[in-house]
């Protein structure tokens, strides 16, 4: 008998189709205590990571997350890639701790993060904890912590992205391997754009070109219930600084060994981790002629070798509704800055070596208690910090004669910190929470020892800097609605006091050698001299919120905002700053996004980010106007997990000011840029 239309022949004797089990092996991790729910947390999903070409741009979809300046890692000098949470005060070193499966990725010399060394194809997800103080994270988590989780290993390809765009932009990244080995490699080349545009542009203005490459491999194996992983990484990036003769190179490597025995289910077990991170920064700067037609060499930081290494350990337990973690961590950093400076007849005449060592380490206890709708968490830390072997040696290049030998005395101290919080679930769709916390950040070697120059502006180091300390309180309300259309939201009101903030304080303007700080040497006409100082305190209060949901099953949205009222109280250290807004601190940041599956195979996405007025200097004279940028992406699915896409960055070709020089010349953000590519995720 033949088959009629719509019928299918079925062989009753045929076996059912085989089920293929996909095994994904993650790095050794202990499950975090449930107390994180008491604090303001945000997750960056794999969907956002896939749609955003750079990890730091993906992070900026969360309110208040920003690099020191308005630029992204596409065009930012390595020394300005420090990240902070909440717009309390920007810092080139960053005021947030960034970790990858527990190991810090902040640079051992400067605290910044080389974001090109962290391709999103190798990242499974990101957990951002804002304002959590030190807690179990350790020093550096002043305004919070950004926890990166590396992709799990499986047989075959896990992620792939290949793209090309305007201005000679090419990028490729791949992550894959076996259950025991995960390899992630990425590289890109970009001819860049000229940041100074319009009538102000001169022959001295050049593109912010970029070339970078990195590779990491993770080996892992289980010995019964004990898991072990060894991760190795190397990276390099080379970029132009936007001025003729000004360039930078950053290279480095990292090694992490993790051994853990997690509980079979839930909280419990132990973890031991050892890590090392090496880096070397080379950076040249120039002085710009008044007509921007020419530049002359100003500084050649030809090598800054630095090494950081550390240990951490944690032991978890659980008894009824009580979960706890005991732990300790220690970090060492050492490095030396090698420079040539002071130009006569277009030749460097002076040399400088400056460096030292730092240490920070301590122990902590963290616990939470869950009972019905109540969740209570508390923790305490005690840390020791010290800076030692500080030295600054300047000499004549031609003869080697020493002109300055300025060692600084060793410094040390002990810092207690802690946190406490409570959360109450009113019903399954609504919760309330409140928290108080304290954290600290020790100064980096870069802040303590290395002076630097950008254009005609000079910033001096300060070996007498003390750690920054932050105290904060916050209350929050939120809900998770999943019964009908998905809808999640939260709002937080916070107050923070940042004591002894390390700030670039203006000393005076050129031309000449300024008596207040003669060690800085001659400041050219139009140049400004600043020095890093512990400038009183910064008081900040604000409100932040985020929400996401679905209008239809094919249309989802997300939005977030952060408002921060931050003001400096310079006290006796810097009374001229009292009442001013900290540099690089906008009052408002607003982000939003839409994802629409317009057809079965076509998905349209858009993101927008707005920042309000901020200032490029501590005196609030170099105003950066408000602005917004809109990005779009259209993706066509060609197979499960595979798509081709067209992306347009800065669709409206908005001119967002990213910096203002002493002569008030503006630098601008990236113009409208088209990219096409292929993406695969599994």
- Residue 129 CA to residue 472 CA, distance in Å, equals 14
Q: How far apart are the first and last CA of the chain?
A: 44
CA 133, 137, 143, 148: dihedral to nearest 10 degrees? Answer: -150
- Count of CB atoms within 10 A of residue 404's CB? 12
Residue 274 sits at the vertex; the CA angle it makes with 271 and 280, to the nearest 5 degrees, is 145
Q: What does the CA dihedral 536, 538, 539, 540 come to, rounded to 10 degrees?
A: 180
Residue 573 CB partners (closer than 8 Å, separation 6+): 533, 534, 535, 536
Q: Report the candidate in 560, 510, 570, 504 with the shortest Cα–Cα distance to residue 532.
A: 504
Q: pLDDT at residue 137 above 60?
A: yes
Cβ atoms of residues 138 and 154 within 8 Å: no
Identify the pLDDT of residue 159. Answer: 96
Does position 20 have pLDDT exceeding 80, yes or no? Answer: no
DSSP string, 392-452: EEEEETTT--EEEE-----EEEEEEEEEEEEEEEEETTEEEEEEEEEEEEPPPHHHHH--E
The CA R_g of the chain, rounded to the nearest whole Å, is: 26
Q: What is the pLDDT of residues 292-317, one digit of tens each?
A: 999 999 889 999 999 999 999 999 99
Residue 631 burial (CB count, 10 A): 21
The confidence score (pLDDT) of residue 483 equals 61
Specify whether the CB–CB gap between 428 and 478 falls below 8 A: no
- Residue 465 · residue 443 · CB < 8 Å: yes
Select from 609, 473, 468, 564 the least CA-distant residue to 40: 473
Inter-residue contact 102 to 312 (CB < 8 Å): yes
Buried b (16+ CB within 10 A) or exposed e, 180-214: eebbbbbbbbbebbbbbeeeeebebbbbbbbbbbb
List Cα–Cα distances, 10 to 1, 236, 302, in angstroms: 14, 58, 74
Q: Which element (helix H / strand E) includes 50?
A: helix 46-51
User: What's 553's DSSP letter?
Assistant: T
Kind of pairing, strands 144-150 and 97-100? parallel
Please tell me the distance from the alpha carbon of residue 554 to that of residue 599, in angstroms, as a whole number. 9
**Residue 489 above 70 pLDDT?**
yes
Of the ranges 50-64, 214-228, 481-495, 602-616, which one carries the lowest mean pLDDT score?
A: 481-495
In this predicted structure, what is the pLDDT of residue 559?
Answer: 94
Output the DSSP codes for 556-583: EEEEEEEEEEEEEE-TTT-GGGTTPPPT
Q: Which residue has the tokens 């993706």?
A: 635
pLDDT of residue 80: 85
User: Residue 171 and residue 52: Cα distance in Å, rounded?
Assistant: 13
The structure tokens 């950040």 sit at 441
Residue whose C-alpha is closest to residue 387's, from 352, 354, 355, 353: 355
Give the phi and the psi of residue 500 in degrees, each rounded to 5: 55, 45
The answer to whether residue 415 scores a pLDDT higher than 90 is yes
Per DSSP, the residues of 317-357 read EEETTEEEEEEEEEEEEEEEEEEEEEEETTEEEEEEEEEEE
Residue 247 banded pLDDT, cuts 50, 70, 90: very high
What pLDDT shows up at residue 648?
Answer: 97
Mean pLDDT is lowest, of 59-68, 188-197, 459-468, for 59-68
The DSSP bridge partners found for residue 332 are 309, 359
From CA 64, how far away is CA 414, in angstroms rounded?
Answer: 30
* Residue owning tokens 């000679």: 168
Beta bridge partners of 392: 354
Centroid of chain to Cα 420 = 26
Residue reference for tokens 């300047």: 394
Predicted local confidence at residue 134, as pLDDT: 65
pLDDT over 50 (residue 10): no
Distance of alpha carbon 93 from alpha carbon 110, whole angstroms: 6
581 touches 617 (CB < 8 A): no
The pLDDT, as a whole number, for residue 133 is 67
Q: Average of pLDDT values for 134-162? A: 90
Residue 19 CB neighbours (<10 A): 5
Query: CA 387 to CA 583: how far, in whole Å?
Result: 27
- The secondary structure of residue 114, as a DSSP letter, is -
pLDDT in tens, 191-246: 999 999 989 899 999 999 999 999 999 999 999 999 999 999 999 999 999 999 99
Better-scored residue on pLDDT, 421 or 1: 421
Q: How many CA atoms lie within 13 A of 415 on its CB side?
A: 30
- Mean pLDDT value of segment 340-354: 91
Task: Identify the burial level of 302 via C-beta atoms within 10 angstroms of its C-beta, where 0-12 means exposed, 13-18 middle and 19 or more buried.
Answer: middle
Work out the pLDDT band at 63, boundaries 50, 70, 90: confident
Q: What pLDDT score does 515 carry?
A: 80
Instruction: Return the SS3 of 28.
Output: coil
- Please report which confidence band the pLDDT of residue 13 belongs to, taking 50, 70 and 90 as the band edges: very low
* pLDDT greater than 80 at residue 5: no
Q: pLDDT over 90 for what percent of the chain? A: 68
pLDDT score, position 374: 96
Q: Are 609 and 593 in contact (CB under 8 A)?
A: no
Closest CA to 79 of 59, 57, 64, 94: 94
The pLDDT value given to residue 15 = 54
Q: What does the longest C-alpha to C-alpha distance in the chain come to?
A: 105
Characterize 263-291 residue by residue with b for buried, 16 or more Cβ atoms within 10 angstroms of its Cβ, and e for exposed: eeeebbbbbbbebbbbbbbbbbbbbbeee
Q: Are 137 and 105 in contact (CB under 8 A)?
A: no
The residue whose two tokens read 């070709």 is: 653
pLDDT at 7 over 50: no
DSSP state of 455: T
Residue 434 in this model has a pLDDT that exceeds 80: yes
The H or E element spanning position 550 is strand 537-552
Mean pLDDT of 496-514: 87
Average pLDDT over residues 509-523: 80
Give the pLDDT band of residue 88 (cuts 50, 70, 90).
confident
Q: What is the DSSP string of 167-223?
A: TTEEEEEEEEE-SSEEEEEEEEEE----SS-GGG--TTB----EEEEEEEEEEEEEE
Cis peptide before 169 (omega within 30 of 0): no
pLDDT at 4: 36
């Amino acid at each position: 008998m033949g088959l009629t239309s719509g019928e299918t022949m079925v062989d009753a004797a045929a076996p059912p189709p085989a089920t293929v089990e996909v095994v994904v092996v993650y790095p050794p991790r202990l499950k975090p205590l449930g107390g994180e729910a008491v604090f303001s947390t945000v997750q960056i999903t794999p969907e956002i990571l896939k749609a955003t070409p750079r990890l730091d741009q993906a992070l900026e979809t969360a309110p208040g997350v920003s690099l020191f300046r308005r630029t992204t890692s596409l065009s930012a000098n390595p020394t300005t890639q420090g990240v902070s949470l909440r717009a309390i005060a920007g810092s080139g070193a960053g005021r947030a701790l960034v970790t990858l499966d527990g190991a810090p990725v902040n640079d051992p010399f400067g605290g910044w993060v080389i974001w090109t060394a962290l391709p999103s194809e190798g990242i499974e997800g990101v957990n951002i904890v804002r304002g959590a103080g030190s807690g179990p994270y350790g020093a550096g988590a002043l305004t919070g912590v950004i926890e990166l989780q590396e992709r799990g290993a499986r047989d075959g390809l896990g992620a792939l992205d290949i793209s090309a765009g305007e201005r000679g932009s090419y990028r490729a990244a791949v992550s894959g391997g076996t259950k025991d080995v995960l390899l992630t490699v990425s590289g890109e080349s970009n001819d860049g754009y000229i940041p100074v545009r319009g009538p102000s542009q001169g022959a001295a203005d050049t593109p912010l070109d970029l070339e970078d490459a990195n590779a990491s491999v993770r080996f892992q194996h289980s010995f019964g219930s004990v898991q072990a992983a060894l991760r190795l990484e190397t990276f390099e990036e080379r970029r132009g600084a936007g001025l003729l003769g000004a360039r930078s190179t950053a290279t480095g490597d990292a090694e992490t060994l993790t051994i853990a025995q997690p509980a079979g289910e839930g909280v419990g077990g132990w973890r031991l981790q050892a890590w090392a991170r090496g880096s070397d920064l080379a950076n040249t700067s120039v002085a710009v002629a008044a007509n921007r037609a020419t530049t002359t060499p100003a500084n050649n930081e030809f090598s800054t070798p630095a090494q950081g290494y550390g240990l951490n350990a944690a032991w978890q337990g659980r008894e009824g509704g009580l979960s706890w973690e005991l732990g300790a961590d220690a970090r060492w950093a050492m490095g030396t800055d090698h420079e040539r400076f002071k130009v006569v007849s277009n030749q460097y005449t002076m040399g400088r070596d400056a460096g030292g060592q730092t240490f920070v380490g301590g122990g902590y206890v963290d616990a939470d208690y869950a009972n019905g709708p109540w969740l209570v968490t508390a923790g305490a830390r005690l840390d020791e910090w010290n800076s030692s072997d500080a030295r600054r040696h300047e000499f004549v290049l031609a003869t080697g004669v020493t002109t300055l030998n300025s060692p600084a005395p060793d410094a040390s101290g002990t810092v207690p910190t802690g946190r406490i919080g409570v959360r109450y679930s009113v019903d399954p769709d609504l919760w309330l929470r409140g928290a108080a916390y304290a954290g600290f950040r020790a100064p980096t070697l870069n802040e303590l020892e290395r002076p630097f120059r950008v254009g005609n502006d000079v910033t001096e180091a300060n070996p007498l800097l003390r750690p920054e300390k932050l105290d904060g309180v916050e209350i929050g309300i939120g809900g998770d609605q999943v019964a009908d259309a998905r809808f999640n939201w939260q709002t937080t009101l916070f107050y923070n006091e940042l004591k002894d903030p390390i700030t670039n304080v203006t000393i005076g303007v050129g031309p000449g050698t300024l008596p207040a700080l003669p060690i800085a040497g001659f400041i050219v006409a139009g140049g400004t001299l600043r020095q890093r100082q512990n400038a009183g305190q910064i008081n900040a209060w604000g409100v932040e919120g985020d929400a996401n949901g679905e209008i239809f099953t094919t249309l989802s949205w997300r939005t977030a905002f952060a408002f921060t009222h931050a003001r400096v109280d310079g006290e006796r250290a810097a009374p001229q700053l009292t009442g001013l807004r900290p540099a690089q601190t906008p009052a408002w940041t607003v982000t939003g996004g839409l994802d629409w599956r317009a057809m079965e195979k076509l998905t349209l996405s858009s993101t927008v980010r707005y920042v309000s007025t901020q200032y490029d200097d501590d005196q609030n004279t170099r105003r950066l106007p408000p602005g917004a940028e809109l990005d779009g992406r259209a993706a066509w699915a060609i197979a499960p997990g595979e798509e081709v896409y067209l992306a347009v960055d800065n669709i409206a070709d908005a001119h967002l000011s990213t910096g203002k020089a002493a002569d008030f010349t503006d630098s601008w953000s990236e113009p409208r840029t088209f990219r096409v590519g292929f993406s695969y995720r599994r």
